[in-house]
């Protein structure tokens, strides 16, 4: 059987605990570096233990250890009886410490009698109460259950009640699993629960209450303060004082040597892999950089050393932060972070995650995160924003595994936590709120844990993801784009009036059927590059709403799939008050026939969906003459674009040249040069691409943009188009 790892020690300040001296068996060895680890001498003693077990048990009463530990029925443990397997005793070597507090003998006869009764500690019981007992929890093959055996061969029989029971747990294969401390006093249990509230491995609600030794170690400073306060209280609780002293004694016995080493390392700003646990107490604010290289802080709730499948060893840290999933707001678990194992000592600030208190600029960092947290509170509800820079999306591998990947998002995004969580219910980006809070009452220490990202949808990239708060900005609406449209004045005025009225009206008008006829549907027809898409963009700008561009290919070609996808997108754009542009809608609008059942079903589905849509929908087509007659009654405005004339092309060229000049680019283009460009047979989309390429070349070569340079690019593109199949 393998014994558990030795615990180390802790320095006790201003604490006096007087143990009852007991005679030690000559084979017993006291271990100050770890009371749970046997020495070589103790291993020799084990060999003789199994041989004299039967004789020893005949001489001693067959009294159960559960009675010796205070008749705690929840313990469900027994002393090993006569005939038990010798192997059960081969690990049992240690010392049982017994302590009687100084205050017990001086306690008054009448004070706190009610409290004593509630705790089950009578006057006589308090006089015989012991501080600590150490036991091993092992599996008995004879009784086919877990039992306790003493980790001691003390010549004295253990009797009475104990404040703490240090339990080494072994599995059925006699392999060491863990060491836990049973907390017998309810008052001490309640105090510890407040000190380490939220710790991942907290088991104080179990019966008996359990705590890991290292968690108890982290409570030492607060326990000392509590002890001093309790000693000077008017109505001091002697039983609680006794239990706190017992806890501090255990910490000193098991951690004093290791604590001295830790202090020496931390003073130099260093730590070893083996002692990482010491700088991550429960609720410690830890600092790291997230997947977008943004600073973030979270509260530590637990950690463990984990061996991975590839054989590497890591220190895993789990934590919590404040977040929102659109429905609830509060504490959420974050994915654990890992520190790979390293040899020797390492600067704490070189760790990929380290306590915020060790950061050189912890003060400015706190201020920065506090400002970001407050701004995130303002933005986390549904909103429409401008965004520039990296964002984060979740992608799936062929085997089903998911991972997070950066992508460049330049354009506009919709922040919407509720819809994000609804559509991406299984995404790792969706926070799982386990403790709701009221967002208006957050403390500064809670605000700084708010994540660096908001969750939503990139309209330009058609991607759901996380977007850095620091890169989100307000939208500057371009109202002048409407004036630049190459449309006849009357048509422009009618379209503008219709869309403006639709977004501002109270919508008193309704169809005879509820929720029918509340949408505004427009149709733009004409050849490619004449301004259909630009007009839709201009409509969205003048009403200051998102533009969701949908191509017919995204909907598929199967009727049931089209119905499901289109319904979802129409609901989404209505929720966001977006303008929906369905580009190249010919496949959904072409006249129905008596032979093509599938096409007829698609057209019918599309017509039905349009009737119930309540937002602004703009359709574009190249075949207006082939549209089904049923669409005529459902379209509120339309415009047919013709091929661009030299005059309309000149207007487009001038608009792009003015935009280039406003950006700071040097131009040398006389009016004759513009006229020459206007007579080139180009559509609006081609002009846009030519200008984009020409500007890039001029900037790269640090040259003035000229009509000649633009013409070279245009002729190159025309040559490519003429040779393309």
Determine the pLDDT at residue 515. Answer: 56
Are residue 675 and residue 592 in the same domain, yes or no? Answer: no
Assigned domain for 700 exists: yes
Last-in-domain residue among 207, 223, 256: 256
Last-in-domain residue among 606, 640, 674: 640
Last-in-domain residue among 620, 640, 660: 640
Assigned domain for 13 exists: no
Could you identify the residue written with the tokens 């809608």?
Answer: 585
Are residue 461 and residue 328 in the same domain, yes or no? Answer: yes
Determine the pLDDT at residue 325. Answer: 87
Give residue 507's region: left, alpha or beta (phi > 0; psi -120 to 50): left
Among candidates 321, 282, 278, 314, which has minimal Cα distance to 300? Answer: 282
Instruction: Report the 10 Å Cβ neighbour count for 656.
Output: 19
Assigned domain for 397 exists: yes
- What's the rounded mean pLDDT across residues 557-576? 91
- What's the rounded mean pLDDT across residues 100-116? 40
CATH code, domain with 701: 1.10.8
Are residue 115 and residue 134 in the same domain, yes or no? Answer: yes
Are residue 469 and residue 483 in the same domain, yes or no? Answer: no
Q: Which residues pair with 136 in a beta bridge?
A: 149, 168
Phi and psi torsions of 596, nearest 5°: -90, 90
Are residue 55 and residue 153 in the same domain, yes or no? Answer: yes
H/E stretch holding 307? strand 295-307
d(CA 618, CA 495): 11
Model confidence at 413, in pLDDT bands (50, 70, 90)? very high
Percent of the chain with pLDDT over 90: 43
- What's the rounded mean pLDDT across residues 502-515? 57
Give per-residue pLDDT as tens, 61-101: 334 454 555 444 343 333 333 333 333 333 333 333 333 33
Contacts with 658 (C-beta within 8 Å, 6 or more apart), sequence order: none
Among candidates 188, 191, 183, 185, which has minimal Cα distance to 165? Answer: 183
Total domains present in the chain:
4
Assigned domain for 264 exists: no
Give per-residue pLDDT as tens, 593-624: 878 888 899 899 988 888 888 899 999 988 88
Q: Which residues of 317-336 are buried (b: 16+ CB within 10 A; e: fewer)?
A: bbbbbbbbbbeebbbbbbeb
Distance of CA 156 to the CA centre of its chain: 54
Determine the pLDDT at residue 162. Answer: 85
Q: Do 302 and 200 meet the contact criterion of CB atoms below 8 Å apart? A: yes
Are residue 339 and residue 430 in the same domain, yes or no? Answer: yes
Could you identify the residue written with the tokens 């004879």?
Answer: 142
pLDDT of residue 317 exceeding 60, the answer is yes
Number of Cα atoms under 13 Å in the Cβ half of residue 429: 32
Are residue 708 and residue 692 in the same domain, yes or no? Answer: yes
CATH code, domain with 544: 3.40.50.300
Are residue 72 and residue 168 in the same domain, yes or no? Answer: yes
Contacts with 440 (C-beta within 8 Å, 6 or more apart), sequence order: none
Are residue 587 and residue 707 in the same domain, yes or no? Answer: no
Assigned domain for 339 exists: yes
Assigned domain for 266 exists: no
Q: Do 323 and 332 meet the contact criterion of CB atoms below 8 Å apart? A: yes
- What's the rounded mean pLDDT across residues 49-65? 39
pLDDT of residue 556 exceeding 90, the answer is no
Model confidence at 157, in pLDDT bands (50, 70, 90)? very low
Determine the pLDDT at residue 579. Answer: 96
User: Which pTM value belongs to this model?
Assistant: 0.73
Among candidates 535, 525, 517, 526, which has minimal Cα distance to 633? Answer: 517
Q: Do 660 and 690 meet the contact criterion of CB atoms below 8 Å apart? A: no
Are residue 408 and residue 528 in the same domain, yes or no? Answer: no
Are residue 366 and residue 455 in the same domain, yes or no? Answer: yes
d(CA 448, CA 459): 29
Are residue 652 and residue 618 in the same domain, yes or no? Answer: no
Assigned domain for 226 exists: yes
**Residue numbers of the domain that contains 465:** 272-475
- What's the rounded mean pLDDT across residues 494-516? 70
Assigned domain for 626 exists: yes
- What's the rounded mean pLDDT across residues 420-445? 90
């Amino acid at each position: 059987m393998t014994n558990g790892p030795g615990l180390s020690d802790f320095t006790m300040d201003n604490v006096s605990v007087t143990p009852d001296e007991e005679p030690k068996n000559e084979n017993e060895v006291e271990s100050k570096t770890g009371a749970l680890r046997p020495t070589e001498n103790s291993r020799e003693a084990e060999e003789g233990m199994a041989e004299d077990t039967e004789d020893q048990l005949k001489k001693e009463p067959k009294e159960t250890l559960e009675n010796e530990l205070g008749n705690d029925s929840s313990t469900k443990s027994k002393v090993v009886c006569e005939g038990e397997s010798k192997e059960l005793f081969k690990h049992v070597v240690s010392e049982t410490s017994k302590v009687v507090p100084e205050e017990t003998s001086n306690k008054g006869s009448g004070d706190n009698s009610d409290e004593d009764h509630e705790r089950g500690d009578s006057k006589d019981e308090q006089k015989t109460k012991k501080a600590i007992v150490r036991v091993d929890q092992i599996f008995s093959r004879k009784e086919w259950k877990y039992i306790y055996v003493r980790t001691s061969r003390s010549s004295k029989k253990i009797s009475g009640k104990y404040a703490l029971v240090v339990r080494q747990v072994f599995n059925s294969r006699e392999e060491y699993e863990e060491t836990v401390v049973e907390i017998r006093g309810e008052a001490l249990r309640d105090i510890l629960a407040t000190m380490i509230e939220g710790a991942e491995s907290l088991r104080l609600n179990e019966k008996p209450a359990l705590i890991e030794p290292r968690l108890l170690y982290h409570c030492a400073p607060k326990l000392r303060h509590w002890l001093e306060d309790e000693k000077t209280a008017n109505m001091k609780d002697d039983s609680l004082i006794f239990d706190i002293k017992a806890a501090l004694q255990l910490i000193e016995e098991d951690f004093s040597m290791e604590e001295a080493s830790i202090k020496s390392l931390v003073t130099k700003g260093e730590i070893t892999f083996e002692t990482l646990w010491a700088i991550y107490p429960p609720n410690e604010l830890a600092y790291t950089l997230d997947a977008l290289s943004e600073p973030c802080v979270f509260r530590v709730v637990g950690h463990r050393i984990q061996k991975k499948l590839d054989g590497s060893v890591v220190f895993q840290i789990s934590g919590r932060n404040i977040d929102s999933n659109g429905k609830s707001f509060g504490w959420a678990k974050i994915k654990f972070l890992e520190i790979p194992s390293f040899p020797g000592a390492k600067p704490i600030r070189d760790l990929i995650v380290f306590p915020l208190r060790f950061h050189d600029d912890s003060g400015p960092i706190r201020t920065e995160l506090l400002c970001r947290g407050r701004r995130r509170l303002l933005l986390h509800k549904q909103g429409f924003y401008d965004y520039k820079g990296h964002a984060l999306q979740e992608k799936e591998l062929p085997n089903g595994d998911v991972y997070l990947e950066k992508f460049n998002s330049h354009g506009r995004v919709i922040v919407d936590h509720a819809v994000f969580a609804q559509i991406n219910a299984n995404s790792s980006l969706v926070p799982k709120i386990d403790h709701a809070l009221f967002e208006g009452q957050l403390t500064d220490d809670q605000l700084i844990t708010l994540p660096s990202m908001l969750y939503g949808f990139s309209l330009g990239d058609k991607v759901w993801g996380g977007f850095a708060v620091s890169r989100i900005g307000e939208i500057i609406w371009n109202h002048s784009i409407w004036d630049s449209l190459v449309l006849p004045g009357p048509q422009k005025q009618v379209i503008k009036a219709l869309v403006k009225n639709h977004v501002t009206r109270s919508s008193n008008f309704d169809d005879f059927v509820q929720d029918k006829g509340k949408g505004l549907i427009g149709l733009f027809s004409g050849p490619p590059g004449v301004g259909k898409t630009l007009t839709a963009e201009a409509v969205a700008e003048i009403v200051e709403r998102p533009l969701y561009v949908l191509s017919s290919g995204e909907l598929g070609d199967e009727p049931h799939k089209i119905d499901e996808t289109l319904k979802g997108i129409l609901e989404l754009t209505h929720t966001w008050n977006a303008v929906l542009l369905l580009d190249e809608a010919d496949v959904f609008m072409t006249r129905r026939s008596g032979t093509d059942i599938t096409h007829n079903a698609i057209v019918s589905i599309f017509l039905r969906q349009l009737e119930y849509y309540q937002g602004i929908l703009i359709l574009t087509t190249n075949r207006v003459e082939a549209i089904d007659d049923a669409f005529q009654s459902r379209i509120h405005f339309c415009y047919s674009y013709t091929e661009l004339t030299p005059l309309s092309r000149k207007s487009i060229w001038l608009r792009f040249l003015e935009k280039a000049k406003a950006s700071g680019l040097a131009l040398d283009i006389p009016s004759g040069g513009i006229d020459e460009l206007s007579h080139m047979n180009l559509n609006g989309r081609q002009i846009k691409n030519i200008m984009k390429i020409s500007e890039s070349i001029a900037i790269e070569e640090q040259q003035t943009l000229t009509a000649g340079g633009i013409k070279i690019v245009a002729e190159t593109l025309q040559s490519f188009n003429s040779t393309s199949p």
